[in-house]
Amino acid sequence: MKSESSSGRSKQGAMPPCAACKLLRRRCASDCVFSPHFPSDQPQKFAIVHKVFGASNVSKMLQELPEHQRSDAVSSMVYEANARLRDPVYGCVGAISTLQQQVNILRNQLALAEAEVVHLRMNDQFNPSTSPTDAVTSTSSKQGYFPLDMMDQTDLADSL
Ligand SMILES: [Zn+2]
């Protein structure tokens, strides 16, 4: 036992095993595919990826990739694994579709706001701003905004 650990140490140059090898209780070789991406001070990072994808799948996926793409792949797997734990049904697809819905909602709001701008500009052309009826026009244009806003809300309810 004692001689094993001392020989391991001399090979690895006093480096602790990476988080993956530590969790899998195996020796961390110098060419360990995990060690550049799963440092021993971040055990949770590998634990999550292992729980969702399985260590052997992660190892296979990393070995199929050129080395310069591996750290991006690890970031992506860690992100996906976290999303999968938060939302076991949809994973990161849940986040993507929520964001797509927000984009659609914001696009609708933008289109309505742009229509409102066109509407106000047309009103300005027909009403000189110096007239005392200006206050009346501005309130009427504000009133015009609210029905549009309500329409947006019903659109939302329909799309959801
Ligand atoms: Zn290792």
d(Cα 107, Cα 15) in Å, to the nearest integer? 53
Q: Cα of 50 to ligand 1 centre, how many Å?
A: 13
pLDDT at 160: 47
Q: Cα of 127 to ligand 1 centre, how many Å?
A: 75
Q: Cα of 62 to ligand 1 centre, how many Å?
A: 13
pLDDT at 122: 92
Residues in the chain: 160
Neighbours of ion ligand 1 (CB under 5 A): 18, 21, 28, 32, 34-35
Find out whether 33 and 26 touch, Cβ atoms under 8 Å. Answer: no
- Write down the residue that tokens 């976290």 correspond to: 82
- Write down the residue that tokens 């806003």 correspond to: 149
Residues of the chain predicted below pLDDT 70: 1-14, 128-160
- What's the pTM value of the predicted model, to 2 decimals? 0.60
pLDDT at 139: 46
